[in-house]
Amino acid sequence: MKSDALDWQRLPLVSLIFFFISSVRLTVKHLYNALPGLVAVFVGLRNLLHWWPVAVGVIFVVLLVATFLRYRRFSYVLEPERIRVRQGVFKRSELNLDYDRIQQADIRRPIWFKPFKLAILQLQSAGSKGSEVEVAGLDDDLAERLQKDILNTLKATDTDAEAAQLDPNAQADFELILPRAEILRVGLIQNALLVVGVLAALLFSNQFVSEYVIDWLESFVDGFASLWQAVVILVGFGVVALILVLLGAVLFFYNQYYGYHLQRNGDRVAYKAGLIGSLSRSFRIPKLQLIEFRQGLIARILQRWQLRILQAGGINDKAEGRFTIPVLNRDNRELVSADLQLPTAHWNRVHKILIPRYWLIPSVAAGWILNPWAGIGVAVAILLLRWLWWRNFAWHYQGGWIAVKSGVIGVSERWAPAAKMQRIRISSNPFSRLFNLRALKIDTAGGTLSIPCMPKEQAERLQQDILALTANNNKRWM
């Protein structure tokens, strides 16, 4: 390695903004984690509290110094096959990432970079969390070219053939543009009710806060002539708050996915979206490990789906880092499925014995602790839910793809190319052996598919088929 000969590049001065924002974010995270300690300080050093402007000032200065140092210590080299990044103030590190290991390449253009025509390039590898590279402040065109080049270097020797296809002016092999009316639906189908639930849970998680809320509620109700009046007003407030949350979600996702445009050229798939800032995300079809169609309650009513494509690694990563198609109607879903070469689904149900699972113990417990009627009620409710679950659950194995569909009210469908399987597990317990049933679990690099309660022969045949398919397939799976 002629490490000395490498041309280490620095970022433009504007990138200081990026480092400042990232430092602020880190500080807030650390402060949040240190909250119990801070409370102790608050209580113990009460008479020193009037010094708080000094403390804030010190933190601010430290932030500025850290920002500058982080900026100074960041440098990168772009080589034909890999990128090297040096960073870190106290703990210096040099990270090498080969382009053909990259699972997904993002270009973010936040609003504060837009006037300078700069972009953030973010590369994800298959390693565990935190193995991603972020280069902030690249020239817009350079970033775009890199994103394309990087995803084409998988086969460095025969890029010429593909390069011809990837002429930017050439017609894309597949294209999907989401109209604004569809993007307005994205916020609706995100299950905004969940946000309300989380807020409520947050309000009542802390005893201090919940007491305060209850006190406030009581005094609020006392202020009215009758209880009914207060209830009507409160419900009104609740509805308004719900509408506000929903509106917020709609606007948030409208901004995020505005002008959604997906293109596939050869093996490279990319989408571009965003109103205030913008994001362009791309990956190569060979890296695909798992496809997930999701549909929440509202999405089901609106007959819309959301698609997520998962690559290897980062199984615990947040959803927003994934390659997403935020809203798909029936026609678009069919188009996308056809382009991904998904076969037509042949769903198989599992054994009905799945229904009474997790049923007896909660019912008996409820009947014993409360009263027998509560027990019966719980039993009926659980049976109903379980029946819904069983009715929605199905699996598919045909055309080289394996799929599992599940959910009670919302439904999620997960598809994986069977030959990309990493590990397959078949399990049984005394009870399932009594009914000659087996559970199958298929691990892929993008996630796990589980099928419970299959007849023994079927499960073993499926296991055998998938193993043979994988063992005889020496094509690249990653």
Binding site for other proteins (CB under 8 A): 100-101, 125-127, 155, 157-158, 161-162, 165, 173-174, 264, 266-267, 285-286, 288, 312-313, 315-316, 339, 341, 417, 419-430, 433, 443-445, 447-448, 460, 463, 467-468, 470-478
The number of beta carbons lying within 10 Å of the beta carbon of residue 111 is: 11
Shortest spacing between CB 230 and other proteins, in angstroms = 47
Smaller CB separation from other proteins, 147 or 289 = 289
Closest C-alpha to 161, from 265, 58, 13: 265
Nearer to other proteins, 427 or 436 (CB): 427
Closest to other proteins by CB, 288 vs 382, is 288
Cβ–Cβ under 8 Å, residues 86 and 94: yes
Long-range contacts of 468-476, Cβ-Cβ distance < 8 Å, separation of 24 or more: 469/400, 469/418, 469/419, 470/418, 470/419, 470/420, 470/421, 473/419, 475/419, 476/286
- Least CB distance from residue 257 to other proteins, whole Å? 24
Q: Which CB, 92 or 475, lies closer to other proteins?
A: 475
Q: To which residue do tokens 């879903």 refer?
A: 333
Q: Nearest distance from residue 224's CB to other proteins, in Å?
A: 50
Which of 296, 95, 100 lies closest to 188, judged by CA?
296
**Distance in angstroms (rounded) separating the CA atoms of residues 143 and 125:** 17
CB of 358 to other proteins, least distance (A): 17
Q: How far is the CB of 151 from other proteins (least distance, A)?
A: 13
Q: Nearer to other proteins by C-beta: 1 or 471?
A: 471
Q: What is the DSSP letter of 343?
A: P
11, 136 in Cβ contact below 8 A? yes
Nearest Cα neighbor of 146 from 94, 81, 228 is 81
Q: Is 331 exposed, middle or buried (0-12, 13-18, 19+ CB in 10 A)?
A: exposed
CA 388 to chain centre: 26
> Closest approach of Cβ 271 to other proteins, in Å?
15
Q: How far is the CB of 466 from other proteins (least distance, A)?
A: 9
Taking the least distance from each CB to other proteins, the nearer of 134 and 162 is: 162
Most distant pair of Cα atoms in the chain: their distance: 84
- Shortest distance in whole angstroms from residue 417 CB to other proteins: 5
Q: Is the Cβ of residue 67 or residue 432 nearer to other proteins in the bound state?
A: 432
Q: Do the strands 394-398 and 401-406 form a parallel or antiparallel pair, or are they unpaired?
A: antiparallel
Place of tokens 């439904």: 411
Nearest residue (CB) to other proteins, 84 versus 456: 456
